Chains A and B, each alone.
Chain A
Amino acid sequence: MRGGVTLTVDGKEVTVPKGTLIIRAAEQLGIEIPRFCDHPLLEPAGACRQCYVQIEGQPKLATSCTVGVAPGMVVKTQNTDETVAQAQEANLEFLLLNHPLDCPICDRGGECPLQDQTIAYGPGDTRFIEAKRTFVKPIPLSPLVNLDRERCILCARCTRFCDEISGDRFIELFARGAGERVSIAAGEDFESPFSGNTVQICPVGALTAEPYRFVARPFDLSTVDSICPHCSAGCNVKVDVRRGEVVRQLARSDYDVNDAWLCDKGRFAFRFPDAPERLTTPLIRDRGLEPASFGEVLTQVAGRAAGARVAILTGGRLMDEDYYALSKLARTVLRTNDLDHRRSPGAGEAERYVAAQPLSVSYKDVERAKVILVAGLDAEQEIPILHLRLRKAAARGARLWVLHPRRTRLHDVAAHILTSPEEAARLLAGEGPTGNAAFDEAVGALRDAGEDAVVIAGERLAGPAGGAEEAMALAFDAGARFTYVTRRANDRGALRAGVHPRLLPGGRTSADGLDEVEAVWGPVMDREPGRDARAILQACADGDIDVLFLVGVDPLRDAPDAALALRALQNVPYTVVQSLELGSLEPFASAFLPAAAFLEKTGHVTDWEGRGQMLRPVRGAPGLSRPDWEIAAGLALACGGDLGFETLEQLHEEMARLLGPRPITLALPPREDPASASASASASEGLALVTYPLLVDEGRLSERADELKAALEPDAFVEVHPEDAAALGIADAGRARVRTEAGEAELPLRVTPHIAPGTVFVPFNQPGLAANTLLSGTFDARATLEAVAGTAAEAVGDEVSA
């Protein structure tokens, strides 16, 4: 190894990079040194003192988790040095003095580092006859996390996580000496969306998760490696199943993806596949919806689709294989480009770029970047693990800017430029000084950093005001890396497969690479771009679609125009629902096809980076349910066509031919002189309403995650800048009425300087408001606000976090 350091541990030689800690070097040799406070992703603490080693020539024992290697160092561990072994045993004796003997009722029992290491290295007996320290046990830190201070060994992993990783110091060490304990400020909740990580890294049962409390023993569980189905972070997880039911989800370490972390939604929203409404039998509408065989339903659907005007809407959480099959089904069998996985217009060429370029920006690129511009993304709420990586980059010295309508939880590490969507688009399109000093500084920093700079565009730039293409043009102009990120777990896979009215697999279009597609698929009949999701719903409402496929999507809930979605469902003659259950679609479904849930199938999902990751089934698909791609293939056959694959192997082989990275020529928007570009906002009526989903909301996948919702789900609210509130005379009101073209709602009012003036925010789907009732097809609108008479603002603290 070049620049490596060679040392010996227990007589074995190892060469490791400079700066490696002894404990890690020993791991390289397979030598385990016991430890509690040490964690590879946290700064060294040296607190628990368990990992003593003897370094030759040093008078005292050293803690191997705090001392870096040196050339020629000779280290002895407990395996070869009796003093070390004695010191470790003595330290365990100290740790156990006040540790209660309640392993039989402890959730950690059986997988407890203290238990395991006591057995391996500890004293067999105790010399302690005094009374143990006692605390009230356990106390809830939040509806999700319980704290048992008696079990705590004060390793400070949890508090260091909150300090170093998530940056939200809800919990801290209080008091000192033997009275020291982990605690939370009186009257506060552990409201971090990353709180569950502290449970997972707790080396004892001090922090336990309420949803897993008294649920199972490790030896009762079967564990399967999987990928989190919630957002596009692509987190590696371990799914613990007890008698077929998911009872726990934990983070699985993958330093290329989620490090060792998981957000609380990913960790605690795992009950949705086991909903009691789950349907596992095909249904067909006769007098009512009645069970039928797959063959029966597919034959009927094929009959209705033959020669008809067909459209397909999907959700964002199918697998790559499913999307590919649907894309091919639409183009080669149903002869339509009317298919879309998106909910709003999208990001133009930026979408095409990421569809063609997997891993244009990776987690590691973010981590190592020197300058990062995050535009149109609330990372903590939308892709929480990307948020943590951005924080990690900041901790390593990166300079961060966030261009967004409202402040995000990166505010302590990133300069925020709060603007309306229109203004954001104007800034991003600008060539030369924009007049916004912070933005110009960010652009200057991007240019200076060149290849070490990253621009991340989020869905806020995909609205009618645009901005994503402009952000891409800016990035390339500055020599920076660029990516466009979407929120749902496999939006990126859908984009790549071409579940999109314009894009074919791999970002191809009828004008670019169609021949490559046809070489695999045969002739693609319709070469004109199809309708996007909103246009499909409009066409349904107008009677221009005969058969609508809804695959893993509920437009009533998800489409940014609730009224249009309802009219569409009422007016389309034949609706096929392919999903886990019917829910609110029940009255409209002509046929139902039961799909397998993500944990019941083999396949891949593609995270925001464009990284495809494989999932294996945690359990078999119940009843007659089956993977979406199989249903698509079956339908093709029923229609007299053939997708050409019957097995996953065949499917994968075909996908590989079309889904590799490929160079494309992008049509970038011209860089504009910002002086000539006029913001159109001033001309419009009212305020710019912005909405997006918060992490924990009323979405389908959070169903039955009651503890999670109790801990982290805010009720609906409306947020406005004090200047606007003053101008509108609503500053002192407790509630406000929000009116748009599409509808109105009455909501608790939050007046905060942390939103761009001229902008109003409502969360997309919190208790109290489904914001798609305020929308007309996109995730923004013009809105007016007025006070609700007789309500008064509550005196609130300095900070209100969403």
Chain B
Amino acid sequence: MSLEFEPRLTRDWDDPSVATLAGYVAKGGYGALRAALEMSGADLIQVVKDSGLRGRGGAGFPTGMKWSFVPQDTGKPTYVTANYDESEPGTCNNRELAERDPHRLIEGTAIAAKAIECHLAFIYVRGEYLWQGMVMQRALEEAYAGGYLGKGIAGSDYDLEIVLHRGAGAYICGEETALLNSLEGLRGEPRLRPPFPAVEGLYASPTVINNVETLMNVPDIVARGADWFRSQGTEKSPGTKMFTISGKVERPGNYEIPMGTPFRVLLEDLGGGVLHGRALKAFTPGGSSTPLLTAASIDVSLDYESIAEAGSLLGTGAVMVMDDTDCVVEAAERMVRFYAHESCGKCTPCREGSWWATRVLGRLEDGLGRERDIPLMHDMGTNFLFRAFCALADGTAAVITSSLEHFGDEYEEHVRLGRCPLRAPDPQAGTDPDALAMAPPSEVAS
């Protein structure tokens, strides 16, 4: 199967000069911003609505609708925040997009700002993206120097400042209300909704928060129109989408494909197939918080609706591929350990449950599982799902529930053998579950 389409977000990736202002402008960059500055906020929102653009951060909420929720008569300032806190395991397309083409993010952010009459916007970049933060910082400096930011941007009478804010290592800050808390100098705990950020977001003012990929789609939508945007992708998931494929593939990387492209194309044509020609065992279609799919789903179309039908979520489009030598219990333990580490601690099921699940999964992988641990894990999956304060625990549940659903036998084999069937037997392995309980969290404070 071959893939014919017109690249959009990645179209200039072969030209490193696009990372500079001059290079970006030479390719027509900031033209959309100039056009947007001539348009009313309502018209901008309408064109984005018409395009059918859906948020690329995971939830797939229609972007134009999100913008339209911002009230304009509160007497408070409005804010736009670009969510560049890309942290979902397996996901790195925002990084490459903004690293190669930082001005497109600035332009998209500026257009969003114009749409909701915002004069101060933020780009929240995850701290670990140290280099990408520097790229962004340089691009912002260029944009200020070039008159695309600051007073009277792009020759208009519209003022806009964009401040770069670096995170400091917290996955939860990708959750938009946690991000707002973080930006306000608080612990990155998610906030109660309502009020929604569109009404009461940053500094208790109306705020739009969009993912990097979402915002980077905006300039073209403004410049070329909603119909052009809809010319690729599906009816309900129009446009192209960035996918990251990693793990056991020959050519891991970030690939732009139209929504609705079969997974097989991504895996085989773009990713070069499973590493060393081994058999596909399982994959996450949208990052580690989306339920695992198996080789049976190899022909699933990569769009919101089709993946949901297959029992998972498009998420961030992060495909992690496991082959037949990989242990699902080990993988589940590692993913759940991630969620335990990243739990903000605010709510009980996420904080305590992910901690417990990590321990039980660790025991199972280490051959210290008991038969009743398997129904216990089932229960835990149920007890996390949709019961925590935010969706982080739903990701934990997805790992547990989907791995049990598809690979229950493998769990049972761990118990039966008293070891991981995919690992060589360890003569040193003990049998005392307590011996494996992790040490208490150390006192961080001096």
Contact = CB atoms under 8 A, between A and B. Distances in A.
B343 interface: yes
A174 interface: yes
A95 B356 CA distance: 11
Interface string B328-363: 000000000000111111111101111110011001
A48 B348 contact: yes
Contact of B348 (A61, A91, A128, A130): A91
B383 A94 contact: yes
Interface stretch (B89-97, B253-261, B297-305, B434-442): B434-442
A131 B360 CA distance: 11
Contacts of A569: none
A87 interface: yes
A326 to B, nearest CB: 55
Interface size class of A (residues with CB under 8 A): 35 or more
Nearest to A186: B445
Contact of A46 (B360, B389, B441, B444): B389
Interface in B220-273: none
A178 B349 contact: no
Interface string A39-65: 000001111111010000001110000
A176 B437 contact: no
A584 interface: no
Contacts of B356: 94, 97, 128, 130
Contacts of A50: 348
A128 B437 CA distance: 11
B387 A60 contact: yes
Contacts of B389: 46-47, 49
A173 interface: yes
Contact of B383 (A44, A47, A87, A186): A87
A176 B187 CA distance: 9
Given A128-B356, A130-B356, A49 B347 contact: yes
A95 B352 contact: yes
Contact of A177 (B344, B348, B372): B344
A127 interface: yes
B386 interface: yes
Given A90-B379, A130-B359, A133-B441, A178 B192 contact: no
A236 interface: no
A352 B107 CA distance: 70
Among B192, B346, B354, B383, max chain A CB count under 10 A is at: B346
B199 interface: no
Given A49-B388, A49-B389, A94-B383, A176 B446 contact: no
Interface in B84-120: none
B25 interface: no
B345 A154 contact: yes
Given A49-B389, A61-B387, A130-B437, A180 B192 contact: no
A66 to B, nearest CB: 6
Contacts of B187: 173, 176
Contacts of A47: 346-348, 389
Interface string A14-26: 0000000000000
Interface string B154-197: 00000000000000001010000000000000010000100000
A175 B441 contact: yes
Contacts of B434: 129-131
Contact of A94 (B349, B376, B446): B349
Given A49-B348, A49-B387, A177 B192 contact: no
A222 interface: no
19 contacts: A44-B192, A45-B346, A47-B389, A49-B349, A49-B387, A90-B382, A91-B348, A94-B352, A97-B356, A98-B352, A127-B372, A133-B355, A154-B346, A177-B341, A177-B343, A177-B344, A177-B351, A178-B345, A179-B444
User: 6 nearest interchain CB pairs?
Assistant: A180-B345, A179-B441, A131-B437, A178-B355, A94-B352, A60-B386
Given A49-B388, A175-B444, 16 more contacts: A45-B346, A46-B389, A47-B347, A49-B347, A61-B386, A61-B387, A91-B348, A91-B387, A93-B383, A129-B434, A176-B345, A177-B341, A177-B344, A177-B355, A179-B442, A180-B345
